[in-house]
Structure 1
Amino acid sequence: MTTRNLTCATTAGLSRAVRALAREHALDPEVRGRLVLSAAEAAGAALRAGRETGLEWAYDPGAGLLTVVLRTPGDTGPAAELPMAPDAVTEDEVVWRLPAGPPVDDAEEAPGDDALAAEELRVVLAAADALTAEHRRLKDELEETNSGVLALYVQLDERDKQLRTAHGQTLRELEDALRPPLIEADGLELAVHYEPAGTDAPTGGDLYDWFVLPDGTVHITIVDALGHGVTSTRSALNVTHAVRTLALEGHRLQSIVARTDEILYPFDRAVMATVLLARIDPVTGELWLANGSHPPALLLRRDGTARYLEARGRGIGFPLPGSETPLTERLAPGDLLLLYTDGLTESRRDPIEGERRLIEAAHKHLQSPIEEVPGAIAEDMHTVILHPDDTLALAVRLTGQ
């Protein structure tokens, strides 16, 4: 492998030298043009500053590679943006390695520099003309198929609507299957309303459970699991099932939240849920509440006085989960107890303002039939929704009968 080199003092001289060696090794005119432009740009700053540029090239017949080295003392120019990307760049060298043929000695028949430059220009213009023709062809095809594409979009949109409707119906059926049926307990009226954050995912992390214990008291569980959709539904179901099991086994109300966390931790370490537990004796009206980071229940007396029942505790998945001593209260005939999730009071992003409005809405519907109360209160609370969230409202009224 023979190495050749020369020194150039001008951009024109460097371009002629690179063009000549490229033609000598039969490089394609397009490749040759890119190499000439790249060398001129890489050495431009040095040549304009009056510094000579070295050009060295060598051909490896075994590998069929032509190595071109451009030495630009102190400045290699914008090597990263050259028309032909270099194979190596140092502080004062730019190196290209190109597939090439062996050198051809036809000095007498070799075209001049102007002729070679014109050939390179013709190749560039031919490529541009080909791109223009291809662009015109593609544009014509696009115009021809545009109406068909629009029709297809209309069909796809209609199909999407049909799928969304079917999907929503399936999820609503799933939601109905997940929620326990209305229980019958002499002396109590119960009703519930659930509203998902989005119609495309009617299931969420807001669930409830109610059942009658062997001693005749009614147990109610309200759960709000972190997140939305099916994943949060699974977490909420795990919580309600664990609470039901513990309640039926006779565990004390204040121990159930902490025990539920212990049970679920090995199986669902990601679960985070707030919990509100209520026990009501339909005969005496006695009420017990245990809380785990959940919004307080609202008690609205028959005479119109209202009070939030604050019970202390931390939820499932929270640090130090569990409930303190249950809050006790006694319901009188006609009193209304409202259990809910934060989607009811925080739709306007202000929980304090939401709690005030909830009292007003409960007053408005205090005497309404129990089956209308939760939905009517939710409708009043959601006249403006700045923060959409799953919403659950459960109403209990002591009848005294």
Structure 2
Amino acid sequence: MSRLFWDVTVLREEVRDLARSYRLPADVRGRLVLSATDLACPEFEAGHPVRLTSVFDATHDVPQLNVTLTAPRAARPLRSADLPLTAPETSANSVTWHIPLPGPDAGPYGEDRAPASPASLSTQAREGDEELRAALARADRLAAEHRMLKHELAETNAGVLALYVQLDERDEQVRKAHGQVLRELEDALRPLAPEIDGLELAVHYAPADPAAPTGGDLYDWFALPDGTVHVTVVDALGHGVRSTRGAVTVTHAVRTLALEGHPLHSILARTHHLLMPFNADLMATVLLVRLDPATGDLQVASGSHPPPLLARDRGTPHFLEASGRGIGFPSPGSDAVLRERMEPGDLLLLYTDGLTESRRDLIEGESRLVKAVEQHAHRPIAEIPDAVAAEMHTVVLHADDTLALALRMTAKVPAATATRDVRRLPAQGRRADKRSIG
């Protein structure tokens, strides 16, 4: 069938009759009528005709009706996008729909099928209502499916969220257990403060990451046979267990050499040569301090480590600059031993760079450290390292392991008794993220 049309009403009814003859579903019929009307109306308004052609195609597994609307005098290409019934085949002036037929008895007009009679106005209205009802039913069905999908999606999301919560809780439990084990290992590595007449000691340690409390900042303190107190502060390169292992090997090597009686100025170089064959990647800054409580004599040897800060009982704190290179550095060892004398009431603060470089400015950090020590030097020794660290870390731009160790002379003791009363303090409780020993 091929026919030319000049009127939209006639075209609409022809399309509807065609769809009825092939028993197309009401919703497909309505979409085809609307699509043909949308394409033809601009042509009719311009005074141009349109041609409607229908072909029955039985060459496919499912017979189909091919309907083509052509605008021979169209001034511009037909708008085929966003039609109610999608048209898979288009050209500049024509649009073709390939519509699968609903059943085996559907087919073209033939000897056994009479052409449809013209529909009355009541029939047209009834068919229009039928098409509308079909469209509304489809819309209602899609809305119901949409609500069901939203409900199922909400249930799925709730289940996934609950699973994530459970996994996060388990991860948190594992992290806490892991952190507890590491804290216990760290506590085992950190020596208790020796109790020595005329001398007070305290320490603060805080890891860069509280969830992983191991790090490369480590200290060691012990009394030598002659009554002097030896203190080692180590900052091994890196973070975590690997840096802890490096710091432990350094402190153990230094302790062994010190107890063997090697001079203070030679210990760093000897430590380097002892450890390099076993750990060529090891790099660590080291600070060595010897203090005789009987005389107040103080010796400092440094290997690339931040200088200790000496705060006199009266006077402005000042840094004790001792030159040298650390373990794993070129030309490792101390250049010389710096000597000072401490008096009762004097305070010595040893630390790692995590204390002074938290704001990424070493000069500014050292200036703030002097002020912090001046402010807190009068406090009980057990409070000083914590208070100084808190003062220095009000703003942290660069998180790093932090160690602050304080020694204060209380009174000079006679040389005859200096080697006698060296006792160990009992084990003390330690906090999860920092420890104080006083």
- Structural mapping, 1:170-189, within 5 Å: 170-189=181-200
Cα distance, 1:142 vs structure 2: 6.3
SS state at 2:156 partner: helix
Cα distance, 1:160 vs structure 2: 1.4
Check if 1:378 corresponds to 2:389.
Answer: yes
Check if 1:329 corresponds to 2:343.
Answer: no
- Structural mapping, 1:250-269, within 5 Å: 250-269=261-280
Check if 1:193 corresponds to 2:178.
Answer: no
Residue identity opposite 2:208 in structure 1: A
Check if 1:302 corresponds to 2:321.
Answer: no
CA distance in 2, matches of 1:143, 1:193: 50
SS state at 1:373 partner: helix
Cα distance, 1:336 vs structure 2: 0.4
Does the CA-based 8 Å contact 1:304-1:363 persist in structure 2?
no
Residue identity opposite 1:336 in structure 2: L
CA distance in 2, matches of 1:336, 1:144: 65
Deviations 1:171-210 (A, max 9, x none): 2111111100111111111000001101111110000000
SS state at 1:174 partner: helix
Q: Which sections of structure 2, spanning at least 5 residues, go unmatched?
A: 1-58, 60-87, 89-145, 413-438
SS state at 1:184 partner: strand
Check if 1:293 corresponds to 2:304.
Answer: yes
Cα distance, 1:365 vs structure 2: 1.0
Q: In the alignment, what sits opposite 2:241?
A: 230
Does the CA-based 8 Å contact 1:277-1:291 persist in structure 2?
yes
Q: In the alignment, what sits opposite 2:403?
A: 392
SS state at 1:289 partner: strand
SS state at 2:345 partner: coil
Residue identity opposite 2:267 in structure 1: I
Q: How high is the TM-score relative to the length of structure 2?
A: 0.59
Residue identity opposite 1:333 in structure 2: P
CA distance in 2, matches of 1:235, 1:343: 18
Query: Which of 243, 248, 260 is the matching residue for 2:259?
Result: 248
CA distance in 1, matches of 2:155, 2:344: 76
Q: How high is the TM-score relative to the length of structure 1?
A: 0.65
Cα distance, 1:141 vs structure 2: 7.8
Residue identity opposite 2:252 in structure 1: H
CA distance in 2, matches of 1:325, 1:143: 73
Cα distance, 1:303 vs structure 2: 0.5
Deviations 1:67-118 (A, max 9, x none): xxxxxxxxxxxxxxxxxxxxxxxxxxxxxxxxxxxxxxxxxxxx9xxxxxxx
Q: In the alignment, what sits opposite 1:148?
A: 159
Check if 1:317 corresponds to 2:328.
Answer: yes
Q: In the alignment, what sits opposite 2:178?
A: 167
Does the CA-based 8 Å contact 1:187-1:282 persist in structure 2?
yes
Check if 1:203 corresponds to 2:205.
Answer: no
Q: Which sections of structure 1, spanning at least 5 residues, go unmatched?
A: 1-110, 112-120, 122-135
Structure with bigger RCO (C-alpha 8 Å, 6+ apart): 2
Cα distance, 1:304 vs structure 2: 2.7
Cα distance, 1:159 vs structure 2: 1.3
Q: How many residues are treated as equivalent by the alignment?
A: 273
CA distance in 2, matches of 1:193, 1:331: 22
Q: In the alignment, what sits opposite 2:419?
A: none
CA distance in 2, matches of 1:248, 1:340: 23
Does the CA-based 8 Å contact 1:221-1:276 persist in structure 2?
yes
CA distance in 2, matches of 1:325, 1:152: 62
CA distance in 2, matches of 1:278, 1:176: 22
Query: Over aligned residues, Cα RMSD in angstroms?
Result: 2.4
Deviations 1:142-172 (A, max 9, x none): 6663322111111111111222222222221
Cα distance, 1:311 vs structure 2: 0.3
CA distance in 2, matches of 1:194, 1:140: 53
Does the CA-based 8 Å contact 1:347-1:386 persist in structure 2?
yes
- Structural mapping, 1:101-120, within 5 Å: none
Structure of larger gyration radius: 2
Query: Which of 360, 370, 373 is the matching residue for 1:359?
Result: 370
SS state at 1:343 partner: helix
SS state at 2:356 partner: coil
Deviations 1:322-367 (A, max 9, x none): 1012000000110000000000000000010000000100011111
SS state at 2:170 partner: helix
Does the CA-based 8 Å contact 1:183-1:211 persist in structure 2?
yes
Q: In the alignment, what sits opposite 1:48?
A: none
Deviations 1:376-398 (A, max 9, x none): 10000000000000000000001
CA distance in 1, matches of 2:259, 2:387: 33
Does the CA-based 8 Å contact 1:210-1:220 persist in structure 2?
yes
